[in-house]
């Protein structure tokens, strides 16, 4: 029997794999349903109601300004100190112009596919990456802790081949889940935009950009799944991967972020892993340093900026996978199986 087919069957038959995958898909479904329920189609009635609310807001501002101006004039006539409450010239108290109160402020939330859909791919990738990490860690970790790995190596003594085959089965299984989920994600939000938003100005370029972002999301899921698998293989237990993530998140991220901020390091976010994951998905993340001022010719003060691109993130991801997976393969070859 093929080792690859055996491992793939072992992966799909595990109850933890099924439950974790189902949980992840249910969370994704809840996001789509929640977006559908919290958005509305903008029709003539909704726009007219928003215009009425904008008019009412303007009328309230007019009444308030008239009351304040009258109170200012009364205070000046009585000679009472205003303690800085009113200006010296009461005529300066006036209502804002009608055009300053925008109708869009009062419109209900609507889902514009062209503008909003790329942002939804970030939680999509994050949820599936978490599922892949936990499944990958559990898949190999359970083999080590239960003694299944030792029994398997008696049948197939080629250690690296066995470990690589298990990883291939894991990545195949994750791709088999993530790819249909991505198609359903695109279709679900297209329906949300159709019935609860807008699909205007969705050109072929928009689809191409969304498709590339979806491809990066799938790659991120596979990379994180590989890291979970490799970490659990290094520690020969699922807890090694999960504990490592907690340590990195608490000590390496929150603690490091606080330390860098206290030290006054420029762009402390550039040292944090979530920044690179976000840059990988959004193609670029621009960090700002408000402690530094770049004056323009108009006298405007703009913060110093630093761009982190998806190319930077790809280097970090490639190095991370090479180091962690390479270490797992090396340890698999060097250590005794007992």
| Terminal Cα-to-Cα distance of the chain (whole angstroms) | 25
Angle between helices 3-13 and 159-196 (to 10 degrees): 50
Alpha carbon distance 287, 290 (integer Å): 10
Tokens read off for 300? 């405007």
More confident residue, 100 or 217: 217
> 25-54 burial string, b = 16+ CB within 10 Å, else e?
beebeebbeebbeebeebeeeeeeebeeeb
Average model confidence (pLDDT) for the chain? 84
Residue of 252, 23, 11, 210 lying closest to 113 (CA atoms): 210
246-250: long-range pairs with CB below 8 Å, 24+: 248/273
pLDDT of 297: 47
pLDDT tens digit sequence for 1-39: 588 898 899 899 999 999 999 999 999 999 999 999 999
Q: Is 95 helix (H, G, I), strand (E, B) or coil?
A: coil
Q: Is 281 exposed, middle or buried (0-12, 13-18, 19+ CB in 10 A)?
A: buried
Q: What percent of the chain has pLDDT over 90?
A: 43
Please enumerate in sequence order all residues whose Cβ is within 8 A of that of 195, keeping only pairs 6 or more positions apart, or say none: 36, 41
Tokens read off for 40? 């509305």
pLDDT of 84: 66
pLDDT of 244: 67
More confident residue, 177 or 82: 177
CB atoms within 10 A of CB 101: 18
């Amino acid at each position: 029997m093929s080792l690859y087919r055996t491992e793939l069957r072992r992966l799909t038959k595990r109850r933890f794999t099924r439950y974790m995958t189902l949980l992840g898909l249910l969370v994704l479904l809840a996001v789509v349903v929640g977006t559908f329920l919290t958005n509305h189609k903008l029709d003539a009635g909704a726009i007219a109601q928003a215009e009425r609310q904008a008019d009412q807001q303007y009328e309230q501002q007019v009444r308030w300004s008239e009351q304040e101006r009258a109170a200012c004039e009364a205070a000046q006539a009585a000679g009472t100190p205003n303690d800085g409450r009113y200006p010296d010239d009461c005529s300066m108290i006036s209502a804002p112009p009608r055009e300053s109160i925008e109708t869009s402020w009062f419109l209900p939330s609507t889902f514009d596919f062209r503008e909003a859909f790329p942002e939804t791919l970030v939680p999509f990738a994050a949820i599936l990456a978490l599922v892949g990490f936990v499944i990958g860690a559990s898949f190999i970790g359970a083999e080590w802790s239960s003694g299944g790995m030792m029994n398997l190596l008696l049948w197939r003594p080629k250690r690296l081949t066995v470990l690589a085959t298990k990883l291939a089965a894991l990545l195949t299984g994750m791709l088999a889940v993530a790819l249909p989920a991505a198609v359903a994600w695109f279709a679900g939000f297209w329906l949300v935009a159709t019935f609860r938003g807008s699909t205007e100005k969705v050109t072929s370029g928009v689809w191409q950009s969304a498709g590339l972002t979806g491809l990066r999301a799938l790659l991120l899921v596979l990379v994180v799944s590989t890291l979970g698998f490799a970490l659990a293989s290094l520690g020969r237990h699922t807890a090694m991967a999960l504990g490592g993530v907690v340590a990195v998140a608490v000590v390496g991220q929150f603690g490091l972020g606080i330390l860098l901020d206290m030290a006054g390091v420029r762009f402390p976010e550039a040292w944090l892993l979530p920044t690179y994951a976000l840059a990988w998905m959004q193609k670029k993340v621009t960090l700002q340093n408000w402690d530094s001022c770049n004056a323009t010719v108009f006298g405007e003060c703009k913060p110093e900026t630093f761009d982190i691109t998806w190319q930077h993130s790809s280097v970090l991801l490639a190095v991370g996978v090479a180091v962690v997976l390479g270490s797992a393969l090396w340890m698999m070859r060097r250590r005794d199986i007992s």
